[in-house]
Amino acid sequence: METLLEQQRRYHEERERLEDAIVQEKLLKKSSHREQINSEHRIKALTERSMECAHSLANLYQDEDGLRKEEIQSLSGPNELAEFYERLRHLKDFHRRYPGEIHEPMQLEFMRLAQARENPGEEYQNLVDFSDEEGYGKYLDLHALHSEFINMKGMEKLDYVTFLAKFDQLFDMPKEKKTAGEYKRYLGNLLTYLHEYTLKVKPMMDLDKELAGVMREFEEKWVKDMLPGWKRDTGSAMTHAGAHLDLSAFSSAEELASLGLNRLKSALQALGVKCGGTLEERAQRLFSTKGKDLNKLDPSLFIKAKGGKGHRIPMSEDERNKEIAALECQVYFFVELLGEQRQATRENVERKQARTADELEEDEEPDEVVSDSDSDEGETVPYNPKNLPLGWDGKPIPYWLYKLHGLNIYYECEICGGYKYRGPKAFQRHFSEWRHAHGMRCLGIPNTAHFANVTSINEAQQLWGALKNNKEKERWQAEREEEFEDSLGNVITKKIYDDLRRQGLL
């Protein structure tokens, strides 16, 4: 039987070996994207195991049951030799009962771990389950979500490439299309996929903590009415179907009847009250709820829940909108986090669509031949002494094409955090991509056409200040631009008109 002190010693040894294994894993050179992801997952597993050991050690040191204190006293008391011989007798009895049993030392386990790290086998190379389309974490696989989106009622029928570019632009969709249950279900499926995919490609990230921060920011923006696409209407409640109706302005059911059947129906539906009947019946039913708590109303007024028991007080329209807006904010967070994978996915799909039928057949034929081979064609490093970009076939592009497209020139953007773009085409394209848009949003500047080709933070801020000053000057000012006519028909400004009127010259 293992003593408490021996357990503590073993936990300390295990933690030290785990820390050493994490350091060796970090020092290991990763030559491919697959190895990078596998390494991060191994580090995560080692870190979690180390945290479990630390938790067990903390419980032993706290010694809430007092067993550790008793064991130390028995070893350091006046009968320490008796305790020693008692433990020795237990050891001999154990080995006498189990003569052939040998406990494997912890060192062997970590030696096997080091050997598997340096010479990984097939089971050690595929630690994460990715689909073929995802390319082991290089690309996103949104085909199922694209099919779900285009089959929703009232949605634009986008092709897959366009969907990849616009699937996060949820703020451009009208609110009327977001109230349907299928849209909320689509958002839930999209969020589930992005969450699971992020856990695979970024295992060391504390997603729960990040999402908690996103939700705090969402609550602040919702209260301040600053969420894009969810601006609350400040107009009259009577102009919007489905909105709650303020009954304080009505003194009788007859006044409510003047609003019409449709408006009364939407107000009753917002309260969860039965909305059928004639105009007078609806008005009477709605007026009967004035100044009363919904829980104290007659249950027969409410729409019965499924099963016929009780009544349901539905979620208000504002609460439903808030729930959907919260899902959208989480989608924005994951899309920004996976910006590189999203861009790579779009380029990969466009590259595949540009291939001819013969090229596609050539790609399929070798796959059938080497399907059982252990070699990973996508992870082999081709001979590329000049560090040229790879083409659709995984081989370096010709040098003349490299020079023609200016890929030997790097453009740096300060707004993107000093990120460098290779070639003028990628540089021009990045102004409409997520990284530059995020940088502009952090500066509090809209990413409009006025800021095309602006890469300096100071220049962007100066241009934004100049644009705001011009807008201020162009704004209509009554004192300067409002015109008046005197008794003789002369057209003068408001300031001159007021001066002449005060002097009695009109």
Nearest-angstrom CA–CA distance, 207 and 213: 10
**Dmax over Cα atoms in the chain, in whole Å?**
127
Contact 283, 254 (CB under 8 A): yes
Q: Could you please report the per-residue DSSP string of 365-421?
A: HHHHHTTT-S--GGG-----TT-PPB-TTSSBPPHHHHHHTTTT-EEEETTTTSEEE
Residue 42 phi, psi dihedral angles, 5° rounding? -65, -40
CB contact burial 407-432 (16+ within 10 A = b; e otherwise): beeebebebbeeeebbbeebbeebbe
DSSP H stretches of helix in 1-105:
4-27, 33-62, 67-76, 80-97
Nearest-angstrom CA–CA distance, 131 and 129: 7
Helix, strand or coil, per DSSP, at residue 266: helix
Burial of 118 from C-beta contacts in 10 A (0-12 / 13-18 / 19+): exposed
Contact 335, 342 (CB under 8 A): yes
Contact residues for 101 (Cβ-Cβ < 8 A; gap 6+):
none
Six token digits for residue 17: 């070996």
How confident is the prediction along the chain (506 residues), in pLDDT tens digits per residue?
A: 578 888 888 899 999 999 999 999 888 888 888 888 888 988 999 999 999 999 999 998 888 888 888 777 777 777 777 778 887 888 888 878 888 776 777 888 888 888 877 777 666 677 888 888 888 888 999 999 999 988 888 788 888 988 988 888 888 887 777 777 788 899 999 999 999 999 999 998 888 889 888 888 888 888 887 777 777 654 433 334 345 666 766 777 777 777 777 777 777 777 777 777 787 888 888 888 877 766 667 777 766 544 444 444 455 567 778 888 888 899 999 988 888 898 889 888 888 887 766 666 665 554 444 344 444 444 556 777 777 877 767 788 888 888 888 888 999 999 998 999 988 988 998 998 888 988 898 898 988 888 988 999 999 999 999 998 888 877 777 666 778 887 778 888 888 888 888 888 77
Question: What are the extents of the domains in the chain?
Answer: 4-125, 132-232+321-337, 245-315, 396-475, 476-506
